Amino acid sequence: MAAVAGVETVKITVNEIELEVPKGEMIVESVKRLGLEIPIFCYHRRLKPVGMCRMCLVEVGFRQDDGSVRKMPKPQAACTLPASDKMAVYTDSAMVHADRKGVLEFLLINHPLDCPICDRGGECPLQNNTLVYGPSTSRFLEMKRHLPKAFPLSQYVTLDLERCIQCGRCVRFTEEISGDSQLAFRFRGALMQPSTYQLTDFDSKFSGNVIEICPVGALTSAKYRFRARPWDLETKPAVCTECSNGCSVWFDHRAGKFVRINGRTNEQVNEEWTCDKGKFGHDWYNSEDRLKSVLVRDGDALKESSWSAGYASIVAAFPGGAGAGLVGPKLSNESLFLFGRMFKQAFKGGDIDFRWTRDTADLVGKGSSSIASLENRRSVLVFGPLADESPIVFLRVRKGWFNHGTKVVVACTGDNEADSFAHAVLRYQPGTAGELAKGLAAMMQGQADVNAVASATGVSADQLRRAAEALDKDSAIVTTHALLNEQGGKDAVGALKSGANFNCYALGANEQGAIELGIQQGRVTEAILQAATSGQTKALWLVGCDPLNDFHDRALAQRALETVEFLVVQDTTMTESAHYASVVLPMAAPAEQDGTFTNCERRVQRIRQVIPPPGESKPAWRIFNECLLRATEVTPFFNTREVMQAIASEHAVFAKVTEEGLEGEGVLLGG
């Protein structure tokens, strides 16, 4: 096998097959290069090896100069054994088979026979390893131990202590990956069990991952509990749309209904992790409030109608240039593109905006750092509560600190998850974000007066000096559009964007796509609502958004909705704004249609339709396409591939986005 350039390699043999692998690589990974498998429980390739379960025992020796192999007297754990020159590994010997059978026999002494009712049944590593490597019958007739069953660690995670094999994966995840260290082992021996401190709620923002990495059914999902069996489910790849990170996920469904989300490997984005918002935040797909038919106002009531009637009233209500549209963050690139084209060609202009922050700024939206690159930075400045706003980016920054010693400087008004590993914590007074950002920008150029910045912002001068020590012109700056909701946030963005590695990541699923496609035209969101209130805007179209909840000034939003002559609300569920609508259009959710989404690092990824939309719901791009067709004499688009081709022809940045390129990890714009 060819060696990777720049990596020191060694030659080993696995079952007498010669292999060249990176020096220090764990044998459990080296064996995979030959398509072989070593059974594991405690080992996980993204966690530090601990050798707790002993399931991966193999025979190991070293090849001598005369060609013979001198074996170690005892089997070795392949998950903690680094590859070294002339090493000989045997994974299929009689000793190895006996060891695996013995380990499984011990694990099963007290393990309950819950397989018929266990949610892990059918996809359980313990079950699989027992069938392949374990004993055919049990020699133990004694009474098994009994411990509390179905103990709720949190609203999402349920613990069954009888099933726990003490592999430590869950504990190590909270210590090494999420960093909250909320789980730890209590007691010793047979009583050892994972638990939270003083039995408090397991409220980690990434708690759902421990369910997936648990190799038995000890940690299960309270949301999924008893809902389905693996063989009842259909599983398809999808992209999470609950925030802008664009995590790759597996979308499990049954009989056309959403069941659960699991992480899907994408080394460039989420590796294989999910946040709880993404893992448990998709229940709205099955909501009873899902819109299923067109509603048209008749007096004081909204009554079911047809698509043709809805289109007819919309085309008549949007006069040339006097209409406006507000867009939410969950529309695909194709839908956004056709929404803009519809206003330009069918409605002869009008105002469109997608931004819901208090302040707007010329963000450009072209961050210079990919998500994966953040773990290799020497230093990173985090401005704001990153774990809440961009959770997977937070995990990458923390990984950089944990694995590579990245110095992290955190600036925030309150407590922050990144404080626990920060090199410097800059706790500034509300309203002084602009002053602090200007000071930090000057510090990165070696020009700031630390005492003056401390006096203006309330930040400790000592912490500012520590920050100045860590930061320089090559440091990555990471913040999100949420900074624009703070007083002085616009000034802060303006000061920070002078940095060469400035990244102001979007918040919504496809907010970045709206930036790339130039969806904003004419008035901004606040001005659009004011124009609707004053009567300048005669018709308003809301797509996947609810100004009463999304906009910071609810009173203004309410006046606008009450005053505007004609209001179209297009959404997946019945929103508060829909009660003011003249026409309500049922829209398919992201996983109910084909389309592409651009995440915060400008990576375009595709979602193919996973489940059918309910009732008469249609994809947003098709709604705009049909409305455009009724208002003008244009050739319609027949599928999202044709729409993407039109996008690529009009927006050069999408030129490399092809059907083939979207397979796998997606296409990075500008990459």
pLDDT tens by residue, 553-588 = 999 999 999 999 999 999 999 999 999 999 999 999
pLDDT tens for 224-243 read 999 999 999 999 999 999 99
The helix (run of H) or strand (run of E) holding residue 295 is: strand 294-298
- Which of 471, 488, 505 is at the close of a domain? 505
Three-class DSSP category at 522: coil
CATH number at residue 69: 3.10.20.740
Q: Is 227 a domain residue?
A: no
> Residue 137's Cα: distance from chain center in Å?
43
Q: Is 127 a domain residue?
A: yes
> How many whole angstroms separate alpha carbon 575 and alpha carbon 83?
58
Q: Which residues contact 651 (CB under 8 A, 6 or more apart)?
A: 516, 517, 518
**Mean pLDDT for the chain overall:** 92
- Report whether 79 contacts 51 (CB < 8 A): yes
Provide the edge-to-edge strand list for the sheet that holds 407-412. 424-427, 407-412, 379-383, 476-480, 502-505
pLDDT over 80 (residue 630): yes
Q: What percentage of residues in the chain have a pLDDT greater than 90?
A: 82
Read off the tokens for 379: 């230093």
> How many whole angstroms separate alpha carbon 532 and alpha carbon 540?
8
- Report whether 306 contacts 294 (CB < 8 A): yes
Q: State how beta strands 379-383 and 476-480 pair.
A: parallel
Indicate the number of domains in the chain.
Answer: 4
Q: What pLDDT is stored for residue 320 in this prediction?
A: 79
Average pLDDT over residues 387-407: 95
Q: Quick one: 370 exposed, middle or buried, by C-beta within 10 A (0-12, 13-18, 19+)?
A: middle
> How many whole angstroms separate alpha carbon 97 and alpha carbon 111?
21
CATH number at residue 521: 3.40.50.740
- Whether residues 71 and 82 share a domain: the answer is yes
| Nearest CA-CA partner of 600 in 292, 262, 269 | 269
Average pLDDT over residues 433-455: 87
Q: What pLDDT is stored for residue 226 in this prediction?
A: 92
pLDDT over 80 (residue 467): yes
- Report whether 159 contacts 153 (CB < 8 A): yes
Q: Is 247 a domain residue?
A: no
- Report whether 460 contacts 485 (CB < 8 A): no
Q: What pLDDT is stored for residue 360 in this prediction?
A: 80
- Whether residues 380 and 462 share a domain: the answer is yes
Q: What pLDDT is stored for residue 83 in this prediction?
A: 95
- Whether residues 494 and 564 share a domain: the answer is no
Cα(first)–Cα(last) distance of the chain, in Å?
Answer: 29
Confidence of residue 5 (pLDDT cuts 50, 70, 90): low
- Report whether 348 contacts 321 (CB < 8 A): yes
- Which of 58, 78, 106 is at the close of a domain? 106
Read off the tokens for 282: 């998709």
pLDDT over 90 (residue 368): no
- Whether residues 52 and 77 share a domain: the answer is yes
Average pLDDT over residues 437-457: 86
Q: Is 210 a domain residue?
A: yes
- Whether residues 344 and 382 share a domain: the answer is no
User: What single string gives the DSSP state of each residue in 479-491?
Assistant: EEGGGGGSTTHHH
pLDDT over 70 (residue 483): yes
Q: What are the distances in angstroms from CA 628 to CA 548, 635, 636? A: 28, 10, 8
- Report whether 380 contacts 400 (CB < 8 A): yes
Q: How many CA atoms lie within 13 A of 574 on its CB side?
A: 12
Confidence of residue 199 (pLDDT cuts 50, 70, 90): confident
AA letter at 166: Q
pLDDT tens for 125-154 read 999 999 999 988 888 888 888 888 999 999
Q: Which of 147-156, 391-400, 440-449 has the lowest mean pLDDT?
A: 440-449
Q: Which residues contact 373 (CB under 8 A, 6 or more apart)?
A: 476
CATH number at residue 449: 3.40.228.10
- Whether residues 315 and 453 share a domain: the answer is no
pLDDT tens for 303-361 read 999 999 999 999 999 977 789 999 999 999 999 999 999 999 999 889 999 999 988 87
Q: What are the distances in angstroms from CA 367 to CA 401, 478, 503, 515, 575? A: 21, 9, 4, 12, 33
Following CA atoms 554, 555, 556, 562 in sequence, which dihedral angle do they give, to the nearest 10 degrees?
A: 110
Q: What pLDDT is stored for residue 478 in this prediction?
A: 94
- Whether residues 330 and 211 share a domain: the answer is no
- Whether residues 518 and 467 share a domain: the answer is no
| Nearest CA-CA partner of 219 in 193, 247, 254 | 193
Q: Which residues pair with 607 in a beta bridge?
A: 595
**∠ at Cα 242 (240, 244), nearest 5°?**
85
Confidence of residue 367 (pLDDT cuts 50, 70, 90): low
- Whether residues 397 and 443 share a domain: the answer is yes
Q: What pLDDT is stored for residue 371 in this prediction?
A: 95
Q: Is 589 a domain residue?
A: yes
- Report whether 341 contacts 512 (CB < 8 A): no
Average pLDDT over residues 42-47: 95
- Whether residues 521 and 647 share a domain: the answer is yes
- Whether residues 377 and 487 share a domain: the answer is yes
> How many whole angstroms separate alpha carbon 240 and alpha carbon 610?
13
pLDDT over 60 (residue 364): no
Q: Which region holds residue 190: left if phi is over 0, alpha if psi is between -120 and 50, else beta?
A: alpha
Length of the chain: 671
Q: What pLDDT is stored for residue 197 in this prediction?
A: 86
Neighbours of 86 (CB within 10 A): 14
pLDDT over 70 (residue 4): no
Q: What are the distances in angstroms from CA 12 to CA 9, 45, 49, 80? A: 10, 20, 21, 16
Q: Quick one: 516 exposed, middle or buried, by C-beta within 10 A (0-12, 13-18, 19+)?
A: buried
Average pLDDT over residues 13-26: 94
Three-class DSSP category at 95: helix
> How many whole angstroms separate alpha carbon 30 and alpha carbon 87?
12
pLDDT over 90 (residue 124): yes
CATH number at residue 116: 3.30.70.20
Burial 476-496 (b: 16+ CB within 10 A, else e): bbbbbbbbbebebbbbbbebb
pLDDT over 90 (residue 395): yes
> How many whole angstroms separate alpha carbon 348 and alpha carbon 380?
46
Q: What pLDDT is stored for residue 292 in this prediction?
A: 96
- Whether residues 521 and 663 share a domain: the answer is yes
Q: What pLDDT is stored for residue 2 in this prediction?
A: 45
Average pLDDT over residues 69-86: 94
Q: What pLDDT is stored for residue 366 in this prediction?
A: 56
Where in the sequence is the domain holding 408, given as residue range(s)? 372-505
- Report whether 586 contacts 592 (CB < 8 A): no
Q: Which residues contact 38 (CB under 8 A, 6 or more apart)?
A: 27, 28, 31, 56, 58, 78, 91
pLDDT over 60 (residue 198): yes
Q: Is 253 a domain residue?
A: no
> How many whole angstroms separate alpha carbon 410 and alpha carbon 436?
12
Average pLDDT over residues 256-274: 96
- Which of 472, 487, 505 is at the close of a domain? 505
pLDDT tens for 606-619 read 999 999 999 999 99
Q: Is 280 a domain residue?
A: no
**Three state DSSP letters for 421-442:** HCCEEEECCCCCHHHHHHHHHH
- Report whether 31 contacts 37 (CB < 8 A): yes
Q: What pLDDT is stored for residue 139 in this prediction?
A: 87
Q: Is 228 a domain residue?
A: no
